[in-house]
């Protein structure tokens, strides 16, 4: 009996049913501006690299735009399927640490027990002007003595 | 021996019919023979043999740790393994050796399981074919099965046999291939949108996605934290239940595991199907569904009905938005999760040292493939202040609608939903790569993905071979945290359908084939 | 909000940088660099407008400053906010780092109960509404000492909101009058601290130490209710006292446990608010006040001379005493906030909503924390006023100086002298010596018992108050002698024997007949001279009142 129902349903011409394997638009919308692209590259520290990548983003956005067809009035956003569960709390004990050696082993550049980064506080667009020896926050610091950077919070 | 169920092998080990070391060596030799499948990224031979030796000692003293003691297993290469390279099939993590074990890995090792190696995947598990990893695509063992080869000879395609191999599906394709080719008895996959169930369907395996919160994600390198779960791939439903029994439970290192005590996952041999209500979601009947899958699905429904189960059509009206919704939530979380890969503390680091930002940018350009970079950029776009409400929040709202669809169906008395797992059987690699990654994922995840939105348990059970001689599986979806009930139904179904065992004798015996294929595989294997 | 008018161009009402030194002191060894030259600081800014102001029409001279603060307080806890590694100020680099703190892939945050309790306690002390449900967010930006590429914070739904903080500032000619004010608290959120970057410019590299990465912070966000550096300083000092009283943070600015960012703008009252700048990382209360006042003045100067204020981040250069733009904060930032998917919402309970049968380690009861709140500084001050009859401003000073209240109370315990008298000695003499030598209370060579003993001698009239000052000076030299020993060795006791004193008076009168004549002629000041002479003869050991009595009797006055 069940089988019959399925078969009946299937006899409906397929073209009339809207599948949900929505094909992405073949063309990008072209609405991602150069500014946005640059902004994204700077925020993500990932470059598009090619026109195709931009088209890919445009397609991805066009694909996402389909969601606007859904009526979500009065619907609360759902962050987690565990939203009604109690968040687990840890007791304030020291249970980790003292593993600098293990951690530093996976780093390509290490000085003593420190990880080593290139000089900081220079954003990408400034680089062109500042090569080869950028001195960033050193302007108000000691001479070559390691000093703490002004923190971001 | 290798084709037996976990419990059978465990009994054989206990009775001394075979020792853990012998079992381990058998699997290792099979891994060697099937190397061209590219199922493993790292084979941890030494570790496995040492574990086998210890297991053997325990068996000799009669102090076995349990059903998994001495049992070869494999782990997807996006689970952290202490002292064993963990790459996520990405240049970004080549050479990264974690100092800790993922909780699920630790639990398996604590039971005496033998870790054979780390299995291949799409880079950072982003994909549905296991074709987009830096170590090359995984080949479906069924490409080399007697069942498929015979059918191929009947309908020659004109293409050369060796380039016409099939994909495993993904992204846990390496784990699926490893289990399917008998190189281990169980493997861990991960499942964010179907990454365990999809390759299970294509490789004729049981692929289980537990309820979100039942199994720890600590040590699973995340794709989408709010949807990821460790998955289990085995040849039999009972094997999955045994592994689940070991893995399930609260982990103080993962705040998203529930604190309720876990019950037993032992599955009854007999269940009364007549008390079941099986729901058939009408939205899953899509035009793209192959007629073979469609008819098997219908046959399965009949089977339940004939045994007295109530089979009803149900509606999950928002299903059709699930993929779009997933696309936004997934890329957004990816954008966030991938921010930690900068080359400073671990992983790939470029040679540029002019500034921190320049170093990060170049490292990330070199370390991620196009797919990952594309998702990072899309995700960042959706998270921009001006887009957040329109895309991210909108998707979260739609996510609730999708989850509520399931709640409504289960509240109406349905115990288990029965759906296809994939649109069709596995396709050839050449066919597969015609579409881009996102489109493919959108097509391949359609039946599996909504479940992750709602955090429900779901399992692929292989049902029959297609006319091409390839596996087709169906998916059962259960109520949240009713994993045991779901697997019980799956076990019953498994028993009814008697899915055929893959016939790989020729492959295993034929050294020339594996040699010939090794040449091919070498192109896509590790290129360090 | 009615901010006080800031005017300039009128001599004498120059935008003042004063008032901070009275209550607060730059602590020794605190923070960066040497002590800046105060004259130079002021001259760099404050003189310029004097020239330009003349050209302005009336009405344009009035500016109001709007200042808001964001204060980061490190939570005092054994382990970090989301990991089990230790919280400690000084340790070998990267020794206090867990796999999670180093952002190893696959690691997950697990919330520290203690940090939640500290946040609730602080929220309650600051009259906040405690949110029964709060949540965590990721804030994304790349920085070498932020290993995950994001910070976990509470942007959308913080643990506490809508509070207020009462504080007081000194006003009036001699700054002797206390005015109570109140600043609104927008929210308190839990968040992770970052690691530390050490810039080694010589080798063009940055050394990264993650020991601090992941330490729990309370970010206290104030509404922009303040109008000058002095108010900001008073607010921060009061908050510091509250946190220390609660024990939720050690709030030591020198060790970076309390860090302040200030949002500053100026506008003409009645007009829309001006464009604001953010001055970051103010790590002493004195610099905080200076930086804010400098920045207000800079903005006014800029606008007065037709310039524009940029919405930018600046830092305070304590050596130059000015704020400078932070180059690395240029460009459009977008933190791309996103809910932290690995932490379900944090739910708190009160006694009425507490679920039955749950593990008590897994629930936090707001009412229970409220019952455990210790006495807050405002109450302590009130009690000092009530109990000892002190002036309110004295109670403020007793609390503001680290360790001074305890010192005062210890003296009180051991002396019979009146509390008011003790307060006067502690606040004037004792504190004066400390400040003169730039010492903290704990570094004082004079112990509470030593001072108590001295005050007892004074109380018994065994010594005069001028001798007491002299003895105090001896005690300060710290030669290990008690007040009594000093008095007896140097024979500083008050001359108590009336006959001996009378003898001395007569002798003095004989030696100074001219002065005696003056007295008799009716010169009223001459008697004082005579008293002084007698005291000198007693080596200041006699009570002047007693001398006066004797002299008057002898001169038949």
Band of residue C557 on the pLDDT scale cut at 50, 70, 90: low
Q: What angle do CA B188, B194, B198 make, to 5 degrees?
A: 80
Q: From the CA of B384, how many Å to the nearest CA of chain C?
A: 5
3-state class (DSSP) for residue C258? strand
Does the structure show a pLDDT above 80 at C381? yes
Is C155 at the interface with chain B, CB within 8 A? no
Instruction: Find the residue in B nearest to C103 (Cα).
Output: B340
Q: Which chains touch C (3 or more CB pairs under 8 A)?
A: A, B
Residue that has been written with the tokens 């009061």 in this structure: C238
For B383-416, give the secondary structure using H, E and C: HCHHHHHHHHHHHHHHHHHHHHHHHHHHHCCCCE
The predicted model gives C240-248 an average pLDDT of 96
Cβ within 8 Å, pair A57-B321: no
Does the structure show a pLDDT above 70 at C335? yes
Does the structure show a pLDDT above 60 at C469? yes
pLDDT score recorded for residue C12: 32
CA distances to B409, B457, B483, B485, B488 from B272, rounded to whole Å, are 21, 21, 17, 12, 10
Cβ within 8 Å, pair C150-B339: yes
3-state class (DSSP) for residue C200? strand
Cβ within 8 Å, pair C205-A118: yes
Cβ–Cβ pairs < 8 A, chains A and C: 209
Write down the domain spans for chain B.
40-317+402-524
The C-alpha atoms of residue C285 and residue C281 are separated, in whole angstroms, by 11
Segment C41-63, tens digit of pLDDT: 333 333 333 333 344 455 456 89
3-state class (DSSP) for residue A126? helix
**Which member of C143, C147, C342 has the closest CB to residue B225?**
C342
**Strand C258-267 to C64-74 pairing:** antiparallel
pLDDT score recorded for residue C266: 96
pLDDT score recorded for residue C236: 97
pLDDT score recorded for residue A39: 93
Does the structure show a pLDDT above 80 at B1? no
Among B171, B180, B378, B514, the active-site one is B171
**Which member of B355, B381, B423 has the closest CB to residue A119?**
B355
Name residues whose C-beta falls within 8 Å of residue C511's C-beta, 6 or more positions apart in sequence.
C533
Does the structure show a pLDDT above 60 at C33? no
Residue B422, Cβ density class (10 Å: 0-12 exposed, 13-18 middle, ≥19 buried): buried
Residue B173, Cβ density class (10 Å: 0-12 exposed, 13-18 middle, ≥19 buried): buried
Higher pLDDT, A148 or B289: B289
Q: pLDDT over 90 for what percent of chain A?
A: 45
**Which member of C140, C204, C359 has the closest CB to residue B339?**
C140
Segment B224-269, tens digit of pLDDT: 999 999 999 999 999 999 999 999 999 999 999 999 888 889 999 9
- The single-letter DSSP state of residue B374 is H
Interface probe with C: pick from B99, B344, B380, most Cβ of C within 10 Å: B344
Segment C153-163, tens digit of pLDDT: 999 999 999 99
**Which member of B259, B340, B356 has the closest CB to residue C103?**
B340
- The single-letter DSSP state of residue C253 is T
Cβ within 8 Å, pair A141-C199: yes
- The single-letter DSSP state of residue A120 is -
pLDDT score recorded for residue A30: 58
pLDDT score recorded for residue C506: 86
**Which member of B358, B394, B396 has the closest CB to residue A79?**
B396
Does the structure show a pLDDT above 80 at A12? no
Nearest residue to A45 (alpha-carbon basis) of B92, C208, B136: B92
B40-317+402-524 classified as CATH 1.10.645.10: no
Instruction: Find the residue in C nearest to A35 (Cα).
Output: C332
Q: What angle do CA B327, B328, B332 make, to 5 degrees?
A: 115
Segment B425-434, tens digit of pLDDT: 999 999 898 8
Hey, CA dihedral for C442, C444, C445, C446, is it positive or negative? negative
Instruction: Find the residue in A nearest to B336 (Cα).
Output: A44
Q: From the CA of C72, how many Å to the nearest CA of chain A?
A: 8
Band of residue B70 on the pLDDT scale cut at 50, 70, 90: very high
Count of beta carbons in the 10 Å neighbourhood of residue C215:
27
Partners of B208 in the beta sheet?
B232, B459
Nearest residue to C68 (alpha-carbon basis) of C227, C288, C237: C227
Interface of A with B in 112-141 (CB under 8 A): 115, 117-124, 127, 131-132, 134
Q: In this structure, what token pair is assigned to residue B519?
A: 């040449």
pLDDT score recorded for residue B160: 55
**Which member of A92, A100, A151 has the closest CB to residue C112?**
A92
pLDDT score recorded for residue B522: 39
Cβ within 8 Å, pair B401-A75: yes
Cβ within 8 Å, pair B376-A44: yes
pLDDT score recorded for residue A14: 38
Band of residue C181 on the pLDDT scale cut at 50, 70, 90: very high
CA distances to A105, A116, B94, B399, C146 from A108, rounded to whole Å, are 8, 9, 12, 41, 17
Active site residue B397: no
pLDDT score recorded for residue B201: 98
pLDDT score recorded for residue A20: 43
pLDDT score recorded for residue C190: 98
The predicted model gives C266-285 an average pLDDT of 91
Band of residue C85 on the pLDDT scale cut at 50, 70, 90: very high
Band of residue C192 on the pLDDT scale cut at 50, 70, 90: very high
pLDDT score recorded for residue C55: 43
Band of residue A25 on the pLDDT scale cut at 50, 70, 90: very low
Segment C246-268, tens digit of pLDDT: 999 999 999 999 999 999 999 99
Cβ within 8 Å, pair C150-B360: no
Q: What is the largest CA-CA distance in chain C?
A: 100
Nearest residue to C531 (alpha-carbon basis) of C518, C550, C556, C503: C550
Cβ within 8 Å, pair B336-C338: yes
Tell me what the pLDDT averaged over chain B comes to: 93
Higher pLDDT, B516 or B44: B44
Instruction: Find the residue in C nearest to A107 (Cα).
Output: C102
Is C343 at the interface with chain B, CB within 8 A? yes
Segment C400-410, tens digit of pLDDT: 988 999 999 99
The C-alpha atoms of residue C226 and residue C222 are separated, in whole angstroms, by 9
Active site residue B61: no
Does the structure show a pLDDT above 90 at B174? yes
The predicted model gives C201-229 an average pLDDT of 95
Band of residue B95 on the pLDDT scale cut at 50, 70, 90: very high
Instruction: Find the residue in A nearest to C31 (Cα).
Output: A148
Does the structure show a pLDDT above 60 at C193? yes
Does the structure show a pLDDT above 60 at A15? no
Query: Is residue C199 within 8 Å of A141, Cβ to Cβ?
Result: yes
pLDDT score recorded for residue B159: 52
Q: In this structure, what token pair is assigned to residue B241?
A: 């239940």
Cβ within 8 Å, pair B340-C138: no
Nearest residue to B466 (alpha-carbon basis) of B286, B302, B290: B290
Cβ within 8 Å, pair A106-B346: yes
Q: pLDDT over 90 for what percent of chain B?
A: 87
Q: From the CA of B390, how many Å to the nearest CA of chain C?
A: 14
Cβ within 8 Å, pair A120-C206: yes
Is C142 at the interface with chain B, CB within 8 A? yes
Domains of chain C: 20-339 (no CATH), 401-489 (no CATH), 498-554 (1.10.10.410)
pLDDT score recorded for residue C172: 73
Does the structure show a pLDDT above 50 at C23? no
Query: Is residue B253 within 8 Å of B220, Cβ to Cβ?
Result: no
The C-alpha atoms of residue C242 and residue C233 are separated, in whole angstroms, by 14
Does the structure show a pLDDT above 50 at B412? yes
pLDDT score recorded for residue C497: 77
ipTM: 0.94
Query: Is residue B210 within 8 Å of B258, Cβ to Cβ?
Result: no
The C-alpha atoms of residue B39 and residue B119 are separated, in whole angstroms, by 6
Q: What angle do CA C465, C467, C473 make, to 5 degrees?
A: 110
Band of residue C331 on the pLDDT scale cut at 50, 70, 90: low
**Which member of C105, C204, C342 has the closest CB to residue B221?**
C105
Cβ within 8 Å, pair C85-A144: no
Nearest residue to B401 (alpha-carbon basis) of B313, B279, B280, B317: B317
Cβ within 8 Å, pair B219-C110: no
Does the structure show a pLDDT above 80 at B520? no
Interface probe with A: pick from C93, C138, C206, most Cβ of A within 10 Å: C206
Contact residues on chain A for B377, CB-CB shorter than 8 A: 40-41, 44, 46, 48, 53, 57
Cβ within 8 Å, pair A147-C324: no
Among B44, B172, B190, B195, the active-site one is B195
Contact residues on chain C for B340, CB-CB shorter than 8 A: 103, 105, 147-149
pLDDT score recorded for residue C318: 86
- The single-letter DSSP state of residue B204 is T
pLDDT score recorded for residue A86: 85
Segment A31-84, tens digit of pLDDT: 788 899 999 999 999 988 888 889 989 999 999 999 999 999 999 999 989 988
Active site residue B90: no
Contact residues on chain C for B452, CB-CB shorter than 8 A: none
Does the structure show a pLDDT above 80 at B329? yes
The predicted model gives B113-130 an average pLDDT of 96
> H or E element: which one contains C261?
strand C258-267
Q: From the CA of C294, how many Å to the nearest CA of chain A?
A: 17
């Amino acid at each position: 009996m069940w089988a019959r129902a399925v078969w009946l349903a299937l006899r409906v011409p397929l073209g009339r049913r809207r599948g949900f394997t929505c094909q992405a638009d073949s063309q990008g919308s072209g609405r991602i501006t150069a500014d946005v692209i640059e902004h994204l590259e700077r925020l993500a520290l990932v470059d598009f690299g090619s026109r195709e990548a931009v088209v890919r983003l445009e397609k991805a956005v066009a694909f996402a735009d389909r969601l606007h067809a859904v009526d979500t009035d009065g619907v609360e956003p759902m962050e987690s399927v565990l939203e009604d569960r109690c968040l687990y709390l840890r007791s304030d004990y020291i249970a980790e640490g003292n593993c600098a050696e293990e951690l530093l082993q996976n780093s390509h550049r290490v000085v003593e027990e420190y990880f080593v980064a290139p000089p900081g506080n220079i954003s990408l667009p400034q680089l062109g002007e500042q090569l080869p020896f950028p001195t960033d926050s050193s302007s108000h610091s000691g001479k070559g003595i390691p000093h703490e950077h002004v923190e971001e919070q | 021996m290798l084709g037996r169920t976990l419990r059978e092998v465990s009994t054989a080990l206990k009775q001394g019919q075979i020792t853990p070391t012998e079992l381990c060596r058998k699997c290792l030799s099979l891994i060697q023979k099937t190397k061209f499948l590219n199922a493993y990224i790292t084979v941890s031979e030494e570790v496995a043999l040492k574990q086998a030796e210890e297991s053997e000692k325990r068996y000799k003293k009669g102090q076995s740790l349990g059903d998994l003691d001495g049992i070869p297993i494999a782990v997807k290469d996006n689970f952290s393994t202490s002292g064993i390279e963990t790459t996520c099939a990405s240049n970004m993590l080549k050479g990264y050796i974690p100092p800790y074990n993922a909780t699920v890995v630790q639990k398996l090792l604590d039971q005496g399981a033998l870790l054979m190696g780390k299995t291949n995947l799409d880079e950072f598990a982003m994909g549905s074919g296991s074709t987009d990893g830096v170590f090359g695509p995984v080949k479906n063992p069924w490409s080399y099965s007697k069942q498929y080869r015979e059918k191929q000879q009947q309908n020659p395609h004109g293409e050369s046999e060796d380039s016409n191999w099939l994909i495993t599906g993904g992204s846990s394709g390496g784990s699926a291939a490893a289990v399917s080719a008998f190189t281990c008895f169980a493997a861990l996959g991960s499942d964010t949108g179907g990454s365990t169930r999809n390759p299970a369907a294509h490789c004729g395996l049981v692929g289980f996605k537990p309820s979100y919160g039942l199994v720890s994600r600590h040590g699973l390198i995340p794709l989408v934290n709010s949807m990821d779960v460790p998955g289990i791939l085995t040849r039999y439903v009972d094997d999955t239940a045994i592994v689940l029994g070991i893995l399930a439970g609260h982990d103080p290192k993962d705040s998203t595991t529930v604190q309720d005590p876990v019950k037993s996952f032992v599955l009854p041999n007999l269940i009364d199907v007549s008390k079941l209500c099986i729901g058939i979601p009408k939205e899953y009947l899509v035009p793209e569904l192959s007629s073979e899958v469609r008819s098997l699905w219908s046959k399965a429904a009949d089977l339940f009905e004939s045994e007295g189960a109530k089979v009803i059509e149900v509606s999950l009206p928002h299903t059709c938005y699930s993929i779009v919704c997933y696309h936004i939530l997934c890329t957004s979380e990816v954008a966030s999760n991938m921010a930690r890969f900068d080359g400073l503390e671990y992983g790939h680091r470029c040679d540029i040292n002019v500034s921190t930002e320049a170093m990060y940018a170049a490292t990330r350009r070199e370390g991620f493939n196009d797919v990952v970079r594309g998702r990072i950029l899309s995700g960042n776009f959706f998270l921009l202040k001006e887009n957040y409400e329109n895309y991210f929040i909108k998707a979260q709202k739609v996510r609730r609608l999708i989850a509520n669809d399931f709640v409504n169906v289960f509240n109406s008395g349905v115990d288990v939903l029965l759906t296809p797992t994939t649109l069709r059987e596995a396709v050839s690699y050449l066919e597969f790569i015609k579409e881009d990654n996102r489109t493919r994922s959108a097509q391949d995840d359609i039946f599996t993905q909504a479940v992750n939105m709602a955090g429900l348990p779901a399992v692929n059970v292989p049902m029959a071979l297609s006319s091409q001689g390839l596996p087709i599986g169906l998916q059962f979806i259960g109520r949240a945290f009713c994993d045991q009930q779901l697997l019980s139904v799956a076990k019953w179904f498994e028993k009814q359908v008697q899915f055929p065992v893959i016939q790989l004798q020729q492959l295993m015996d034929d050294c020339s084939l594996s040699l010939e294929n090794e040449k091919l595989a070498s192109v896509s294997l590790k290129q360090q | 909000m009615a901010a006080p008018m800031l005017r300039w161009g009128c001599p004498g009402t120059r935008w003042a940088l004063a008032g901070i030194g009275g209550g607060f002191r730059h602590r020794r060894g605190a923070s960066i660099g040497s002590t800046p030259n105060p004259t130079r600081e002021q001259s760099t800014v404050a003189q310029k407008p004097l020239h330009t102001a003349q050209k302005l029409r009336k009405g344009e001279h009035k500016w109001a400053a709007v200042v808001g603060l964001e204060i980061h307080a490190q939570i005092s806890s054994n382990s970090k906010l989301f990991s089990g590694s230790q919280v400690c100020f000084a340790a070998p680099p990267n020794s206090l780092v867990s796999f999670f703190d180093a952002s190893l892939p696959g690691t997950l945050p697990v919330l520290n109960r203690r940090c939640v309790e500290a946040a609730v306690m602080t929220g309650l002390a600051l009259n906040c509404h405690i949110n029964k449900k709060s949540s965590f967010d990721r804030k994304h930006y790349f920085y070498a000492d932020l290993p995950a590429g994001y910070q976990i914070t509470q942007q959308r739904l913080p643990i506490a909101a809508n509070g207020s903080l009462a504080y007081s500032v000194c006003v009036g000619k001699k700054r002797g009058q206390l005015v109570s004010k109140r600043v609104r608290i927008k929210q308190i959120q839990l968040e992770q601290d970052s690691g530390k970057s050490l810039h080694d410019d010589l080798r063009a590299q940055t050394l990264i130490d993650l020991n601090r990465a992941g330490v729990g912070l309370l970010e206290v966000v104030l509404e922009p209710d303040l109008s000058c550096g002095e108010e900001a300083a008073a607010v921060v000092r009061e908050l510091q006292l509250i946190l220390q009283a609660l024990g939720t943070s050690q709030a030591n600015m020198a060790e970076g446990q309390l860090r302040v960012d200030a949002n500053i703008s100026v506008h003409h009252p009645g007009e829309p608010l001006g464009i604001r700048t953010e001055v970051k990382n103010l790590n002493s209360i004195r610099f905080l006040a200076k930086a804010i006042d400098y920045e207000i003045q800079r903005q006014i100067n800029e606008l007065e001379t037709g310039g524009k204020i940029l919405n930018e981040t600046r830092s305070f250069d304590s050596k130059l005493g000015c704020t400078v733009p932070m180059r690395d904060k240029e460009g459009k930032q977008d933190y791309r906030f996103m809910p932290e998917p690995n932490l379900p919402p944090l739910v708190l309970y009160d006694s009425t909503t507490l679920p039955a049968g749950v593990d008590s380690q897994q629930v936090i009861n707001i009412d229970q924390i409220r019952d455990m709140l210790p006495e807050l500084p405002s109450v302590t001050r009130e009690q000092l006023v009530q109990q000892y009859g002190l002036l309110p401003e004295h109670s403020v000073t007793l609390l503001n100086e680290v360790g001074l209240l305890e010192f005062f109370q210890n003296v009180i315990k051991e002396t019979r002298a009146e509390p008011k008298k003790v307060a006067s000695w502690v606040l004037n003499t004792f504190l004066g010596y400390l400040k003169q030598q730039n010492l903290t209370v704990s570094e004082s060579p004079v112990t509470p018992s030593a001072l108590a003993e001295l005050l007892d001698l004074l109380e018994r009239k065994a010594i005069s108050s001028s001798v007491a000052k002299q003895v105090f000076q001896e005690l300060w030299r710290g030669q290990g002698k008690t007040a009594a020993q000093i008095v007896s060795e140097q024979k500083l006791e008050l001359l108590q024997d009336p006959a001996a004193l009378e003898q001395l008076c007569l002798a003095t009168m004989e030696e100074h007949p001219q002065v005696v004549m003056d007295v008799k002629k009716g010169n009223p000041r001459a008697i004082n001279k005579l008293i002084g002479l007698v005291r000198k003869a007693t080596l200041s050991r006699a009570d002047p009142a007693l001398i006066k009595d004797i002299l008057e009797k002898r001169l038949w006055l």
